[in-house]
Structure 1
Amino acid sequence: MEQQFGQWLRYYRKKNRMSQKQVAQVLGVGQTTIANYENNSRFPDQQKLVALAELFDASLDRILGVRANTDAIPDSERRDPEKPLSPKEMISSILGGRDLEAWEKVERSVKSGVPMKEIYLRSLEPLLIMTGELWAEGSISVAEEHIISHAVEGFMERLRTCYPGVPPSDKLCICATVPGESHSIGIRMLRDLLEQAGWRAFFLGDKVPTDQLISLLLSARPDLLAFSATLSENRDSGELLIHRLRREAPLARIPVILGGRAFEEGREGLKDLSACKVAGSLAEGLLIAEELVQYKVYSP
């Protein structure tokens, strides 16, 4: 990241001649919360990030302090950005058997020059969040949740072919779900966005035995690990995995991002896990990734 999120928030707030109190009123939070955002001691959730982008009439990339990689999109293919379908509209299209309609809307955003990250943060991540909420309250069935998830996976595969590859740096991240966890879309999104940010990033899934995972990590020496867990019953297996990693001296200080509803809900109980941070959103995960690898993990 070129600058910390807080610096960019302060820049846009002052550019728009707004006080912290005025921004706080728009977001429905206290002035202290905005001050904490600006000094990087707190980070807004997905809904507030989108609200900030709309308030300052800026893309999420600019709010987060990064440049979009859209140079490879020909000017002839660029269009004026249009408002994406809301999560509710996308769910209605997908469950109505019109997922092609939803994809065409996403594709128009691509052709108008919208970066992959903004599509993930403004369209696909909110769609997944709403899907989880609807399933939790019993408004949609497990089968319908699977239909939506399958459609999103299809969108992601298509999007990966729409954006040019970024020359990878020497930063390496290994991404996986914790043992027993089958929900993997969120961690795969993080993998995709890390790749767009120039990382070498690999997704292993949940089928790699712990001993073989550790063997791989000892050999690859990644700069960062990212694990996700959606179901609360899998949080314990995630903690056990971290403790197992820490028993290996070369892996004792490797930074770890923990994402997914299970870790988010159990955030308070994870404070004793060294060099681990919980990401409540994709945007927060990307910022944490840059923050955690500022120091050298491995000895020469």
Structure 2
Amino acid sequence: MTRVTERTDRPAGPDAWSERLWAAVTGGDEYAAADTATAALDAGLDVEDLLLDVIAPLQARVGREWAANRFTVAQEHTATAVSERVIGALAHHPAVRERLDERAGERPGRIAVACIDGEWHALPARLVAEVLRLRGWQVDFLGAQVPTPHLIAHLHRSGPAVVALSSSLAPRLPAAHAAITACQATGTPVLVGGAAFGPGGRYATLLGADVWAPDARVAADRLADEPPPKPPPLHQAIDDLPHLADQEFTHISRTAPKLVRHVMDALRSRFPAMAGYTEQQLRHTAEDVAHIVDFLGTALYVDDPDLFTGFAAWTAAILDARGVPARSLLPALDLLAERLTDYPRARDLLARGHAAVLEAS
């Protein structure tokens, strides 16, 4: 008699599928990635767990590989594109369609999901949209970089119960604030999420969002447990951030291109090594200076030194991973401080950033 043994070639837990999917996604093989994801569902893995415990951590891992200079920008973009294709393919799996059919009569309402104007990282928002759809919501997924006037036009036309806004990059916070206020002016409560809103969602509260969630699962749970009330009328954005009355953010945001040009011109004498830079190195330096100005302006907007010092330390680590001395940031910070003599909050932030780079280098 032949002994029947239990099959062990198709593990069901999220961890068991992560490495398989990682190999396919980072190899740019969307067909192998889709096959792996559908095989996970066939093996009994819940689709929500696949999205949030396999695909989402995989994407975070891609970001860490880029930061460590082990992935190029092209590899990062390829992996993201493959992950997006996988998410799209999962929508057609029988287990997903069956779950959607089961929830068809339980719709809690309609929700619009969009990225803030200027925010191109759409995958986190896409995950939120898919999880909410699985929970029964009628979802309007508007995608990346949605200009606020177009978002508001959509709200007037479709009348969702809630709008969910996503942003991964802190320099988008001023645009997020404008979008939150504009959405609330239509009577639509706003849920926000994404790394831009800081640890624990500190900037979500500061900017007046009705609900913050750290991930898609928590977003769906919070909307199910306690739907946000309609916001009060006549809310003014300046009420949230009275410190903006000093005009420091306004000045820096309006003069940002001039500030970048000033620093680049002056760096040639302040940092002699630039004389030997290639065109590509000069372009990267200009991009780094522009990022410094962007984060300086955003830190002024939310009045949080930690945002700028955290960015400075992170940039120092990125440069170090690429073989560039982190201290090369210091002349740029000093030149900005010299240019902004009439702006005490900005100068304080730059001094703190200087100290953060020294500590990190």
Q: Which TM bucket (shorter chain)? A: 0.5 to 0.7
Counterpart in 1 of 2:159? 221
SS of structure 1 residue aligned to 2:71: coil
Q: Distance in 2 between matches of 1:138 and 1:186?
A: 22
- Once the 2 structures are TM-superposed, how far is the Cα of residue 174 of structure 1 from its aligned partner? 0.3
Alpha-carbon displacement from aligned partner over 1:199-240 (angstroms, at most 9, x marks no partner): 101111245432232132133221111111112211221112
CA distance 1:98–1:204, shift in 2 (3 Å): closer
Q: Distance in 2 between matches of 1:261 and 1:88?
A: 25
Alpha-carbon displacement from aligned partner over 1:133-166 (angstroms, at most 9, x marks no partner): 2223333111111111011011111100012133
- Once the 2 structures are TM-superposed, how far is the Cα of residue 259 of structure 1 from its aligned partner? 1.6
1:1-300 superposed matches below 5 A: 81-84=11-14, 85=16, 87=18, 90-162=21-93, 163-164=96-97, 165-166=100-101, 167=104, 169=107, 171-206=109-144, 208-246=146-184, 248=185, 250-251=186-187, 254-265=188-199, 267-293=201-227, 295=229
CA contact (8 A) 1:264 1:278 kept: no
CA distance 1:87–1:234, shift in 2 (3 Å): farther
Q: Which amino acid aligns with 1:200?
A: Q
After TM superposition, the structure 1 stretch with the greater mean CA deviation from structure 2, 219-228 or 97-106, is 97-106
Q: Distance in 2 between matches of 1:258 and 1:296?
A: 15
Q: Distance in 1 between matches of 2:11 and 2:220?
A: 24
- The answer to which structure has the higher helix fraction is 2
CA distance 1:287–1:212, shift in 2 (3 Å): same
CA distance 1:292–1:285, shift in 2 (3 Å): same
Q: Which runs of 5+ in 2 are unaligned?
A: 1-8, 234-361
CA contact (8 A) 1:81 1:114 kept: no
- Once the 2 structures are TM-superposed, how far is the Cα of residue 292 of structure 1 from its aligned partner? 4.2
SS of structure 1 residue aligned to 2:39: helix
CA distance 1:91–1:81, shift in 2 (3 Å): closer
Asked which structure has the greater RCO (Cα within 8 Å, sep 6+), the reply is 1
C-alpha RMSD of the superposition: 2.8
Q: Which amino acid aligns with 1:277?
A: V
Q: Distance in 1 between matches of 2:58 and 2:206?
A: 32
Which structure would you say has the larger Rg?
A: 2
CA distance 1:197–1:298, shift in 2 (3 Å): farther
Q: Which amino acid aligns with 1:141?
A: T
Structure-1-length-normalised TM-score: 0.64
- Once the 2 structures are TM-superposed, how far is the Cα of residue 242 of structure 1 from its aligned partner? 1.0
CA distance 1:215–1:98, shift in 2 (3 Å): closer
- Once the 2 structures are TM-superposed, how far is the Cα of residue 294 of structure 1 from its aligned partner? 6.2
Q: Distance in 2 between matches of 1:265 and 1:276?
A: 17
SS of structure 2 residue aligned to 1:113: coil
Counterpart in 1 of 2:283? none
Structure-2-length-normalised TM-score: 0.54
Q: Which amino acid aligns with 1:82?
A: A
Q: Distance in 1 between matches of 2:63 and 2:111?
A: 27
Q: Which amino acid aligns with 1:152?
A: S
Q: Distance in 2 between matches of 1:297 and 1:81?
A: 47
CA distance 1:176–1:136, shift in 2 (3 Å): same
Q: Distance in 2 between matches of 1:204 and 1:110?
A: 27
Q: Which runs of 5+ in 1 are unaligned?
A: 1-78
Number of positions where the alignment pairs a residue of Structure 1 with one of Structure 2: 217
CA distance 1:216–1:137, shift in 2 (3 Å): same
CA contact (8 A) 1:257 1:288 kept: no
After TM superposition, the structure 1 stretch with the greater mean CA deviation from structure 2, 270-279 or 132-141, is 270-279
SS of structure 2 residue aligned to 1:204: strand
CA distance 1:131–1:298, shift in 2 (3 Å): same
- Once the 2 structures are TM-superposed, how far is the Cα of residue 244 of structure 1 from its aligned partner? 2.6
